[in-house]
Structure formats: structure tokens, C-alpha cells
A = this chain, B = another copy of it.
């Protein structure tokens, strides 16, 4: 367990500026260091997969330095009182910017665009472009994330949940703030129903086909600009789909989707995020598809 005290927060100089800010509002370029501007960015996160990867990717792609605070989900640190004091929902990742706590990765992504307008943008400048990006973010948030997650939990968290002794498991559940998360843990232990898993697989197929169709017209998910929508869909689906479901042969069914994943994999920002420490037992890395 890692205690984060207020004094630690204040003493840490976390934002190190490494480039030039392009201040388009005044049409000039200015340089600044963190300490001059007083920025302080902390990210509480777990392994570089799903929501933690999504938040990490924004930082890497924008070139924003931050203090990385690893929250060990294997030790259920996200339910510890010190963490729930930061995020009452007991979930990672969490952004702490100068004491302002921002949760939910889609919100964090837009926040970094708003708060650091001079860093490389991951959101279109024009209103229609922004709307396209948000349409896809909503699609991923509401129609993709939970369904890929169910397969990940079915394969990985079920093994963990069933390895916990009965009394200990009830104690674990008691500490989980969100009803939905408690139910997810309970179901992971007892097993997801075949009907729910089949529906999740159907949703994933729909998503892959929808992306395949979109990429016939645009280079990236929400248009010809690389945006938060790519980061979202890659973190939730792209990085895992082919390895989680080899029997689907997505490379044949969805060649443009497959090519998009390959282009994502080659981005330096993506490589840097995926190179963050991963303490998951390799035999249990089912969300990323490394193990089945």
C-alpha cells in the first residue's frame, strides 16, 4: 500500500517541459518550464492496457511529462482507503492536476486537450471534427469497452476471483464502492453466462465491422486526423482483438482495421506507453490477448 499525503503532492515537481509551446493565440512561440508555469500532473494508473493505457497514451502522444503512480490492482490497492479518498469510485486511472482530480478516461483525454492547448493536439480544431471524434468516443465507451472487458474478466479476473478464499472474497466485495464493480467481481467468480459472453462477442464483431467500414473513407477513426477516438478504440479493442479472438481471423475479415492496428502499434507514443511496467502474471494477460 502506498500512502500519498498532501505534503508529498505539493513537494513533487512533476511536470517537466521538454519542448516548445506553440502559443497560437498570440501567434508566437514561447518556452516555459513546469516550475515557471507551476504545472503539476500526477497519473494514478495500473498496467498499460484498457483505461490505464488510454490515459497513458494521451500523455505520451502529447509529450507531457507526469508523475506516474502505479496502483497495484493485484493487491486491490484501488479499494484501499487512501485511494478511495482520491477517487470515491475506487477505479483507475485518476488524474491529479494541481490538486484538481479528474476521473474517467474520456474526460481525462478532453481535459488534457483543454488544459494544454499548446501541446500536440489529439482533437480536431473544427466543430464537425470534434463531433466526429466524440461520436466514436461514445461508441467505444458505450458499445465496445464493457464487452471486451467482459471477455478479459471472464478469462483473467475469474481465475483470480476463484483463487480467493470464500470469507476473504466477501471482505473484498465489501470494500468495492461501485455496485456495478461488486457485481462484476461476483459474476467473474461464479462465471459469466454463455448468453452474455455471446452477446459481447457479437458487439465486438459489430465494432470491428463498423471500423472497417469507416476506414474505407478516412485514414483514422474519426477522420484524417489522429485523435482521442483512435486512442480510445485502440486501448479498448484494437490492441486486443486479434490476439483475444484468433478464430475470428480479423486480418481477413477486416484488413483495414488490421492495418490501422499495425499503424497504431508503430507510433512512438504507443510504443512508449506499452513499455510501461506490467506486473500482470504473463499467463493471465488475457485482456491484451497474450494468454487465452
Contacts and interface: CB of A to CB of B under 8 A. Distances in A.
Interface of A: 97, 100, 102-104, 106-108, 110-111, 114-115, 127-128, 130-131, 134-135, 138, 141-142, 179, 202, 206
A73 to B, nearest CB: 22
A127 B106 contact: no
A127 B142 contact: no
A183 to B, nearest CB: 10
24 contacts: A97-B128, A100-B131, A102-B131, A104-B134, A104-B135, A104-B138, A106-B134, A106-B138, A107-B131, A107-B134, A107-B135, A108-B131, A110-B130, A110-B131, A110-B134, A111-B127, A111-B128, A111-B130, A114-B127, A114-B130, A138-B141, A141-B142, A142-B142, A179-B202
Nearest to A126: B114
Nearest to A138: B104
Contacts of A128: 97, 100, 102, 111
Nearest to A116: B127
B131 A111 contact: yes
A58 to B, nearest CB: 13
